[in-house]
Amino acid sequence: MLWGVDVWRHARDTVRSMYAYIARRILEAIPLIVLVLVMNFVILHVAPGDPVFLFIQGGGGATEEYVAQVREMLGLDRPLGEQLLIFITNVFRGNLGFSHFYQRPVIDIIAERIPITLLLVVLSTILAATAGIILGVFAGKNPYSLVDRVNTVVAVFGYAIPIFWFGQLLILAFSIYLNILPTGGIPSRAMGGGSFLDWVRHLVLPVISLGVIQLALTARITRANMLEILGMDYIDSARAKGLKENTVVFRHALRNAVLPVVTVISVNFAFQLTGAMIIETVFSWPGLGRMMFESVFRRDYPVLMGLLIVMSVGVVVVNLITDLIYAYLDPRVVYE
């Protein structure tokens, strides 16, 4: 039996080990970030041509003095090891280089557009995961039923359809044929838009096309978990207690079936992020993806490299956060 002091001790130990766990996970993430940066550095240096010209874009009009100046500024005349150190230090200081096209530091251009892209990613992830869980629960509850077959179709569809083509189809159907939704862009104040409804109208199609893979994944995982959990002993005992079927399914089984979805979202985050970048091109959404698309077109290397760095570090950080959330939600995780 636990007395007051024991309860307190137990709580203290739990909190302590939780902090230790958080600290350990953060420490584990750091080498991962450094490794990602090293890979970026390697790409930059293994790519054909003098890296200095990547930074001054073609460098056709650049004078020799300017080239020398940039080379010195970036430390490209130093030994490779030192260059790597300079590269990593610069990234940690938020210095990702300068875009000659935008005439601004890369980090500023990226930071400005992150919220616009995240809006798309977060909305579609949440909505698709919710829909996927609902679909998965009903499919798992009634295997081989109509809902289950719908689930199978969604899974196959989500795997095989290129999301950018799905986006184009949605535009063809809803914006051009039915003419009920805008073909793309975000609401503009100047055009008298910007109301909540206007935002919703602009978000519907991109969010759906981006969410289709997440929906398929979540539904499949939830269904599989549901099937497994509904065969477990504790479910039998809940039923034997005479609980209503709905209580058994939605209170007892669902909780445990949904937990792995957190992991799926985390693992899939990088994919959603890059998916958003393609979808933005389809729907003229002025976020990171559009900038990426234009930078590919212009061969704006500093912007592309900066994007890659921000994205890869961002993914590591998001995965870390979801791991911590998972540990918080799932009492079975041992903070060893």
Partner 1 sequence: MPLSPDRAAEGLAEKLWDFWRGYRRNKGAVFGLFFLIILVLIAVSADWITEFGPMDTGIGRPLQAPSGRYLMGTDDLARDIFSGVVHGARVSLMVGFTAALTAALIGVIIGSISGYFGGMTDDLLMKFCELFQSMPRFLFALVIVVFFGNTIWNVVVVIGILSWPRTGRLVRSEFLHLRESEFVMAAKGIGMSSARIIFRHILPNAMHVVLVTASLEVGAAIITEAGLSFLGAGDPNLMSWGRMLYNAQRFLRTAWWLAIFPGSAIFLTVLSLSLIGDGLNDALNPKLKRIKR
Residue 172 near partner 1 by CB under 8 A: yes
Question: For partner 1, which residue of 8, 19, 92, 159 counts as binding (CB under 8 A)?
Answer: 159
* Span from 142-150, 154-162, 186-194, 241-249 in contact with partner 1 (CB under 8 A): 154-162
* Span from 41-49, 67-75, 116-124, 138-146 in contact with partner 1 (CB under 8 A): 41-49
Question: For partner 1, which residue of 121, 139, 171, 258 counts as binding (CB under 8 A)?
Answer: 171
Give the C-alpha separation, 169 to 174, whole Å. 8
DSSP 3-66: -HHHHHHHHHHHHHHHHHHHHHHHHHHHHHHHHHHHHHHHHHHHSSS-HHHHHTTT-TT--HHH
* Span from 29-37, 133-141, 194-202, 234-242 in contact with partner 1 (CB under 8 A): 29-37
Site pattern 43..82 for partner 1 (x: CB under 8 A): xx--xx-----x----------------------------
Q: Which amino acid is at 311?
A: M
Give the C-alpha separation, 253 to 220, whole Å. 16
Residue nearer to partner 1 on the CB measure, 106 or 273? 273
Question: For partner 1, which residue of 293, 324, 326, 327 counts as binding (CB under 8 A)?
Answer: 293
Contact criterion met (CB below 8 Å) for 120 and 279: yes
DSSP H/E element including 99: strand 98-99
Give the C-alpha separation, 192 to 141, whole Å. 48
Give the C-alpha separation, 128 to 212, whole Å. 7
DSSP class of residue 188 equals -
| Closest approach of partner 1 to the CB of residue 213, in Å | 10
- Total site size for partner 1, rule CB under 8 A: 46
| Closest approach of partner 1 to the CB of residue 239, in Å | 26
- Cβ atoms < 10 Å from Cβ of 250: 13
Which residues from 228-287 bind partner 1, rule CB under 8 A? 267, 270-271, 273-275, 277-278, 281-282
| Closest approach of partner 1 to the CB of residue 33, in Å | 10
Taken as a whole, the chain contains a residue count of 336
Residue nearer to partner 1 on the CB measure, 147 or 292? 292
DSSP class of residue 175 equals I
Residue 304 near partner 1 by CB under 8 A: yes
- Cβ atoms < 10 Å from Cβ of 140: 25
Site pattern 198..227 for partner 1 (x: CB under 8 A): ------------------------------
Question: For partner 1, which residue of 101, 164, 174, 326 counts as binding (CB under 8 A)?
Answer: 164
| Closest approach of partner 1 to the CB of residue 301, in Å | 7
Give the C-alpha separation, 126 to 207, whole Å. 10
Question: For partner 1, which residue of 30, 296, 325, 329 counts as binding (CB under 8 A)?
Answer: 296
- C-alpha dihedral sign at 86, 88, 94, 95: positive
Contact criterion met (CB below 8 Å) for 289 and 277: yes
Nearest to 313 by CA among 107, 123, 163, 120: 107
Residue 292 near partner 1 by CB under 8 A: yes
Residue 8 near partner 1 by CB under 8 A: no
Q: In angstroms, how far is CA 41 from the centroid of its own chain? A: 23
Residues that bind partner 1 (CB under 8 A): 32, 35-36, 43-44, 47-48, 54, 156, 159-162, 164-165, 168-169, 171-172, 176, 183, 267, 270-271, 273-275, 277-278, 281-282, 292-293, 296-297, 299, 301, 304-305, 307-308, 311-312, 315-316, 319
